[in-house]
Structure 1
Amino acid sequence: MSVTQNHTGITVADLDRSEAMFRDLFGFETISRAPRDPGTISRVIGVDGCEVEIAYMRNGTATVELLCYSAPQERGDFRPRPCDLGSLHLGFDVDDMDEMLKRCAEWSLDLLGDVVVVSAGPNKGKRIAYLRNPGDGVVLELIER
């Protein structure tokens, strides 16, 4: 049986802003955007009373699914540290770390630590940085080529 990754789903606070950020900052293109049937979504995720609009975006072979829920009203806001179990992040290769950090600042992304040079592993010698989108807590990693 063949298994391949289909997409990475991210729950966001503001679909318009997140869609624009992934497009303008990371080069993704929207391939579809629409609300989903509340009954189907509720059954799929096991939470009653869900309402969601979803944007699918693609950059090369990478696909992100941005989900913006308007219901139920009682939704949590979890912002795990990168070291906490269940924490996820998206990693992006960039040509110019300094320029990309300036562009990220324009989107109010917060640098979590320092920009460092990796000392071992597949990214040895490359500069990396972790940032968080303060609006919805999504963690992003930049890796300078």
Structure 2
Amino acid sequence: MAVLGVLHVGLTVSDLDRSSDWYCHVFGLKEVHRQPGDNDYTRTLVGIPGAALRVAQLAMPDQEAVWPSSHTIELIEYVRGPGGRVAPLPNDVGASHLAFVVDDIDAICARVTASGGVLRNPPTEVTAGVNRGSRACYLHDPDGHTLELMEYGVERAAALRARTTASS
């Protein structure tokens, strides 16, 4: 028995069209599939009686359609059975965040704020740990999901490239 990989990260959103457009515009993702979820299987899976969903699957621009998944992010809108809005802080148990590696954190931050996202902090230098010399920030998408941006410093990027090269 083995875990074979991460399938995707799912985010519940209030407006599927807006959120898909936002993630595609801000992060350059592409929508690779859209489907309804209005069946007994879906209601059993999510544990919400009577639920009906709209789902969009988003992939990184260069993500190959390979197993275990063809997408990285799954956006889910509850058309029937929507819940309330939550706004957990990063230190709340049960809170989560999704992190993106970027090549120009300042440009992405400008796109985030121009597109309705909110920065929790400006890009800040990482001064300790494995990512020392990098820059990072936390932000919220239009529905309040916590996201992280990481622009690797020269040393961290070189170490990861060396590791990738050694394993191929």
If the length of structure 1 is used for normalisation, what is the TM-score?
0.90
- Counterpart-to-counterpart distance in 1, 2:92 and 2:18: 26
Q: Displacement, 1:137?
A: 1.3
**Bigger shift: 31-40 or 45-54?**
31-40
Structure (1/2) with the larger strand percentage: 1
Map of 1:44 onto structure 2: 45
Give the counterpart letter for 2:144 in structure 1.
Answer: G
The within-5 A match list for 1:73-84 is: 73=82, 75-84=83-92
1:6 alignment partner, SS class: coil
If the length of structure 2 is used for normalisation, what is the TM-score?
0.79
Q: Displacement, 1:48?
A: 0.6
The within-5 A match list for 1:1-145 is: 1-3=1-3, 4-59=5-60, 60=63, 63-73=72-82, 75-133=83-141, 135-145=142-152
1:42 alignment partner, SS class: helix
Residue-pair matches, total: 143
Structure 1: tracts of 5 or more residues without a match: none
Structure 2: tracts of 5 or more residues without a match: 65-70, 153-168
Bigger Rg over Cα: 2
2:72 alignment partner, SS class: strand
Give the counterpart letter for 2:119 in structure 1.
Answer: L
Give the counterpart letter for 1:16 in structure 2.
Answer: D
Give the counterpart letter for 2:109 in structure 1.
Answer: L
2:79 alignment partner, SS class: strand
- Counterpart-to-counterpart distance in 2, 1:136 and 1:68: 11
Q: Which has the higher contact order (CA 8 A, sep 6+)?
A: 1
